[in-house]
């Protein structure tokens, strides 16, 4: 059955919107965090570390939504433009040249320096352990949205909490992809496939609800968002096991 494998091409049972889903999920939780902290989109400067599937889609979607993407960090160096980077032009440049390096509408900058450049939103979206005890004290963002898995070390997490950085942990921030994989499974099982607008609408609803649940848990139990996400996940599993009882 094709339902057991997700991320398939659309013509063999894949879901519309799956390719952009992780990046879209990152944008949705950033929207929610900005609303909570009172940061207007048009004044929110964004730096994205990594320009693969997650980073490029998050950057492009956020640019289209009105955010000012001022930095892209990639292997071998990054790009910076304090007035904002034209992401559509950058995507076109990379498709033509196979790299973002040499893009004429932004200055070259060391990728490590971008991670500590002042911004409202920092999105590490490439590799693990890029925010560590060595640079966490110099991070100057208000929101850190983890598009990658494990980009922040445990020691750095404590430093960011003390600094008051609003961290959106990876198991929430990058859940758009796995959520849309679930949608793909559902569509394959039904033999009925949704319009991309329906996929995006369902993803938006789930990501917003999950964000609200995590933040409420954090505030109720006086813990940071990462611990709250873990607590909520364990609580839901335990509750479900109790509910299923002898039928488990």
In the prediction, which pLDDT does 247 show?
A: 64
User: How far is 185 from 217, CA to CA, in rounded Å?
Assistant: 29
Between strands 68-74 and 77-80, the pairing is antiparallel
Judging by DSSP bridges, how do beta strands 107-109 and 77-80 pair with one another? antiparallel
How far apart CA 178 and CA 184 sit, in angstroms, is 10
User: Does residue 175 register a pLDDT over 90?
Assistant: yes
DSSP state of 14: P
Give the residue-averaged pLDDT of 201-208.
98
Check residue 244 and give its pLDDT: 82
Residue 81 CA to residue 70 CA, distance in Å, equals 5
DSSP letters along 40-68, please? -GGG-EEEEE--SHHHHHHHHHHHHHT-E
Give 147's pLDDT tier (boundaries 50, 70, 90).
Answer: very high
- Cβ pair 60, 87 in contact under 8 A: yes
Phi, psi of 163 (to 5 degrees): -80, -10
In this predicted structure, the answer to whether residue 105 has a pLDDT above a threshold of 60 is: yes
Q: How far is CA 194 from CA 28, 58, 116, 187, in A?
A: 20, 22, 41, 7
Positive or negative torsion for Cα 194, 198, 204, 206:
negative
The pLDDT value recorded for residue 246 is: 65
Confidence of residue 96 (pLDDT cuts 50, 70, 90): very high
pLDDT of residue 35: 97
What pLDDT shows up at residue 248?
57
Q: Is the pLDDT of residue 245 over 80?
A: no
pLDDT per residue as tens digits for the range 77-93: 999 999 999 999 999 99
pTM for the whole structure: 0.94
What are 13's two structure tokens?
A: 């049972």
The mean pLDDT value for 167-182 works out to 97
pLDDT reported for residue 135: 97
Closest residue by Cα to residue 108 from 140, 71, 139, 54: 71
pLDDT digits (tens, 9 = 90+) for 11-70: 999 999 999 999 999 999 999 999 999 999 999 999 999 999 999 999 999 999 999 999
pLDDT band at 243 (very low <50, low <70, confident <90, very high): confident
Check whether domain 1-248 has CATH 3.40.50.720, yes or no = yes
Q: In what order do the strands lie in the sheet with 45-49?
A: 107-109, 77-80, 68-74, 45-49, 121-124, 143-145, 166-168
Instruction: Mark out the alpha helices in the chain (DSSP H runs).
Output: 21-37, 53-65, 87-97, 111-114, 154-163, 170-173, 176-190, 196-221, 225-244
Residue 5 has pLDDT above 70, yes or no: yes
Place of tokens 């319009």: 195
pLDDT at 128 over 70: yes
Mean pLDDT value of segment 110-125: 96
What's the mean per-residue pLDDT of the chain? 95
């Amino acid at each position: 059955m094709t339902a057991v494998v997700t991320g398939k091409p659309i013509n063999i049972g894949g879901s519309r919107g799956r390719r952009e889903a992780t990046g879209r999920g990152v944008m949705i939780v950033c929207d929610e965090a900005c609303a909570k902290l009172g940061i207007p989109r048009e004044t929110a400067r964004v730096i994205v570390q990594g320009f693969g599937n997650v980073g490029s889609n998050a950057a492009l979607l956020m640019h289209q939504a009105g955010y000012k993407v001022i930095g892209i960090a990639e292997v071998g160096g990054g790009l910076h433009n304090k007035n904002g980077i034209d992401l559509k032009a950058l995507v076109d440049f990379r498709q033509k040249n196979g790299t973002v390096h040499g893009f004429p509408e932004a200055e070259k900058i060391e990728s490590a320096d971008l991670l500590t450049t002042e911004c409202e939103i920092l999105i590490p979206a490439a590799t693990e352990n890029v925010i560590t005890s060595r640079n966490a004290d110099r991070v100057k963002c208000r929101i850190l949205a983890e598009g990658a898995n494990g980009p922040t070390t445990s020691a750095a997490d404590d430093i960011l909490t003390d600094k008051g950085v609003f961290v959106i942990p990876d198991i929430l921030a990058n859940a758009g992809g796995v959520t849309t994989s679930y949608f793909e499974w559902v569509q394959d099982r039904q033999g009925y496939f949704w319009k991309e607008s329906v996929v995006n609408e369902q993803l938006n609803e789930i990501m917003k609800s999950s964000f609200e649940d995590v933040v409420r848990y954090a505030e109720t139990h006086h813990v940071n968002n990462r611990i709250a996400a873990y607590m909520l996940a364990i609580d839901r599993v335990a509750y479900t096991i109790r509910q299923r009882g002898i039928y488990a």
